[in-house]
Amino acid sequence: MRNLWGLLVAGVIALGLVVAAAQAVGPEMPKGKAFVNKSPAFSFVYPQDLVGKPLEVPAEVLRVASYMGLPAFVCVVTDAAKGATLKALPQAGLEGLRKDPRYTSKSGWKLESQQETKLADGTPAIEYELGWDWQPGLRLYTMNLAAITGGKIVACSVTSTDAGNKAYKKYLYSLKLQ
């Protein structure tokens, strides 16, 4: 009976170690195409079926979308102002889009959610979502994940018609600083 009890305890400990090891690796990364940026060095995975689109502003390093236009994934790299904080990025992002000539005719801008978070490697980051009206009756949502590294802000986003889309969020969290 003692040997059986010892085997049972050893089995529970082994199972615990396997579960802990799996959690240490982090969440499973989504399948797709990998984008690698050289400076600052980071990688990002986006859905396999998306196609490259022309970059629209100098800060963009990646723009991909479905053939229909949505979802659209974008990664940007900008200089971080002295004293820039993650906490300030959602409001700055909202104001920046409101003033962007490509979007000044759009309405209904709202910071839907924001939360401090971490990338898979533990780097502090901020996640936030903006809601806005492309045209009457068509509301879009842009989910963002941003981190500050080496004096730069690295931000990846996805725009779609779905608020809080969990599948798209997994792609945002594939962001990995090198």
Q: CATH number of the domain that 137 lies in?
A: 3.40.1000.10
More confident residue, 30 or 131: 131
- The answer to whether the bond into 71 is cis (omega within 30° of 0) is yes
In this structure, is residue 18 part of a structural domain? no
Could you read off the pLDDT of 132-173 as tens digits, one per residue? 999 999 999 999 999 999 999 999 999 999 999 999 999 999
Query: By C-alpha distance, which of 93, 36, 71 is closest to 158?
Result: 71
Indicate if the pLDDT at residue 21 is higher than 90. no
32: CB partners within 8 A, 6+ apart: 45, 46, 47, 48, 171, 174
Residue 11 domain flag: no
Higher pLDDT, 111 or 28: 111
**For 69, which DSSP code?**
S
Domain range spanning residue 88? Answer: 30-177
**Domain total of the chain:** 1
Q: Which helix (H) or strand (E) holds 128?
A: strand 124-135
Q: What pLDDT shows up at residue 27?
A: 55
Q: What confidence tens digit (pLDDT) does each residue in 45-94 have?
A: 999 999 999 999 999 999 999 999 999 999 999 999 999 999 999 999 99
Q: Give the HSE-up count for residue 43: Cα atoms under 13 Å, Cβ half-sphere.
A: 11
Cis peptide before 40 (omega within 30 of 0): yes
* Residue 5 within any structural domain of the chain: no
Residue 23 pLDDT exceeds 70: no
Is 50 among the domain residues?
yes
In-domain check, residue 69: yes
DSSP 8-state symbol, 164: T
Which residues 6+ apart lie within 8 Å of 176 measured at CB? 42, 43, 44, 119, 120, 121
Name, in order, each residue with C-beta under 8 angstroms of 31's C-beta and a sequence gap of 6 or more: 45, 48
**Helix (H/G/I), strand (E/B), else coil: 86:** helix
